[in-house]
Amino acid sequence: MLPSQRIRNIVPEGLSDGWGVFMKAREMIAQGQSVIELTIGEHDIKTAPDILQAMQRSAKDGHTGYAPVPGTQGLREIVAAHHQTQAQVPTSAENVLITPGAQAALFAAHLAACNPHDKALYIDPYYTTYPGMLRALSLNPVAIAAKASDGFQPNGASLNAAAQGAASLLINSPNNPTGVVYGQETLEIIADTCREHDLWLISDEVYASQVWSGRHITPRSLPGMKERSLIVGSMSKSHAMTGSRIGWVIGPEDIIAKLSDLATVSNYGVVGFIQDAAEYALHLGSSAFISVSAPFERRRKLALEILKEFPQINVIPPQGAMYLMLDIRSTGLNGEAFANALLEQRKIAVMPGESFGAAAAGHIRVAMTVEDALFSKALKSLCDFATNLASK
């Protein structure tokens, strides 16, 4: 018996899922080798003790059974209030569905926006799960290149050319993997495209709390976009709650009601004590996510100082998120070959740019997710390795 075509098509035969170097590094660590991991977006700090205590209190108080499917009222209200403050768009609990993480929110949002075999657009470079997720939904994924020469910002001509006959457009700002933040001009171009071609806009905003330059703008705040935008957020990056799997979709009330129907027949809600901990964390205000994001802002500054010493390695300074996207084409290697060689020879693990799409070819993504001294040491070793290759 064969599995369904849908399941087989998530990662078609002969196509990499982008995680090869990461898995190789983990195998080396399991064998007892010392590897510095600069791969995934996992904080080197853990969930704050007071958030864990709130989680424990809730569980001890008995909130371990079935929770309301669209989310607890308290959490939906604080998510709505937080978004309304940031976006200056009226938002209520009825505009919010709580999901088991942002990945589930992205899946649900596309299921709401698209029919089977619809053309679903996304920007390249992209978070590595995007195309597989779209294929899992039996959609037709179409990538729109945002080139390094354009600062990894999508342009209107490319958007309009791809938008013909499409149902949705997925964007991610602040962006993983590039660290680019879409400004007002870019977002207005995106909004114009969505209005002109009658697209749903699905905006992945999980890094909204990590902005180092400029400011985060949610496209739901732009004219004519409130009723065609689905906003995805989570507690993972803002509060170092990656394993808690707590996220949300914000959108029109009628769509959220239908997504509640979806949750009823899929995950049937999110465990209550996790929701209570998330509600507690959001009530702490900006101080909570500032303390979580501060190490990445600090390491960004360290990295940009180090990179000044290595002119053969180009970088577009990240405006947000916890990553550096380094251009290593001067070495003569593509991102995958460079990442494998770096792992084998320097025991430093990074993600190849090719894991995030064709527009990131010849680059590597470096996660700033180890303590400062080790990060500086690893980055200097990486840059030295690249410079030696480039000089041959």
Q: 324 Cβ partners below 8 Å, 6+ apart?
A: 179, 300, 303, 315, 318, 365, 366, 368
* pLDDT over 90, % of the chain: 94
The C-alpha atoms of residue 251 and residue 96 are separated, in whole angstroms, by: 7
Last residue of a domain, one of 233, 258, 284: 284
Tell me, what's the pLDDT at 20? 87
CA-based nearest residue to 207, from 166, 169, 178, 250: 178
CA-based nearest residue to 234, from 380, 75, 365: 75
344 and 276 both lie in a single domain: no
Asked if residue 55 is part of any domain, the answer here is no
Asked if residue 143 is part of any domain, the answer here is yes
Last residue of a domain, one of 284, 317, 344: 284
For the domain that residue 275 is a member of, what is the CATH number? 3.40.640.10
267 and 363 both lie in a single domain: no
Asked if residue 95 is part of any domain, the answer here is yes
223 and 361 both lie in a single domain: no
254 and 338 both lie in a single domain: no
The C-alpha atoms of residue 250 and residue 248 are separated, in whole angstroms, by: 7
382 and 272 both lie in a single domain: no
72 and 180 both lie in a single domain: yes
Tell me what the mean pLDDT of segment 293-303 comes to: 97
Mean pLDDT score of the chain? 96
88 and 228 both lie in a single domain: yes
Q: 356 Cβ partners below 8 Å, 6+ apart?
A: 18, 124, 125, 126, 127, 128, 177, 365
**Model confidence at 16: pLDDT above 70:** no
Question: Band of the pLDDT at 244, cuts 50, 70, 90?
Answer: very high
Question: Band of the pLDDT at 2, cuts 50, 70, 90?
Answer: confident
The C-alpha atoms of residue 64 and residue 197 are separated, in whole angstroms, by: 45
Tell me, what's the pLDDT at 12? 81
Asked if residue 130 is part of any domain, the answer here is yes
The C-alpha atoms of residue 24 and residue 15 are separated, in whole angstroms, by: 17
132 and 70 both lie in a single domain: yes
* pLDDT over 70, % of the chain: 99
The C-alpha atoms of residue 152 and residue 356 are separated, in whole angstroms, by: 12
293 and 252 both lie in a single domain: no
**Model confidence at 15: pLDDT above 70:** no
pLDDT (tens digit per residue) in 376-392:
999 999 999 999 999 87
pLDDT (tens digit per residue) in 315-351:
999 999 999 999 999 999 999 999 999 999 999 999 9
Tell me what the mean pLDDT of segment 262-273 comes to: 96
The C-alpha atoms of residue 287 and residue 292 are separated, in whole angstroms, by: 9
96 and 109 both lie in a single domain: yes
The C-alpha atoms of residue 70 and residue 65 are separated, in whole angstroms, by: 15
Asked if residue 239 is part of any domain, the answer here is yes
CA-based nearest residue to 262, from 139, 105, 116: 105
The C-alpha atoms of residue 82 and residue 88 are separated, in whole angstroms, by: 10
Given a contact cutoff of 8 angstroms between Cβ atoms, the answer to whether 364 and 351 are in contact is yes
Question: Band of the pLDDT at 229, cuts 50, 70, 90?
Answer: very high
Tell me what the mean pLDDT of segment 57-81 comes to: 97
For the domain that residue 26 is a member of, what is the CATH number? 3.90.1150.10
Last residue of a domain, one of 284, 317, 338: 284
Asked if residue 104 is part of any domain, the answer here is yes
Question: Band of the pLDDT at 13, cuts 50, 70, 90?
Answer: confident
Asked if residue 59 is part of any domain, the answer here is no
pLDDT (tens digit per residue) in 79-135:
999 999 999 999 999 999 999 999 999 999 999 999 999 999 999 999 999 999 999
Q: 284 Cβ partners below 8 Å, 6+ apart?
A: none
This prediction has a pTM of 0.96
- The tally of domains found in the chain comes to 2
234 and 358 both lie in a single domain: no
Dihedral through CA 115, CA 117, CA 121, CA 126, nearest 10?
A: 110
pLDDT (tens digit per residue) in 149-200:
999 999 999 999 999 999 999 999 999 999 999 999 999 999 999 999 999 9
The SS3 of residue 173 is coil
Structure tokens at 209: 């709390």
Asked if residue 56 is part of any domain, the answer here is no
The C-alpha atoms of residue 165 and residue 115 are separated, in whole angstroms, by: 12
105 and 242 both lie in a single domain: yes
Domain extent at residue 256: 66-284
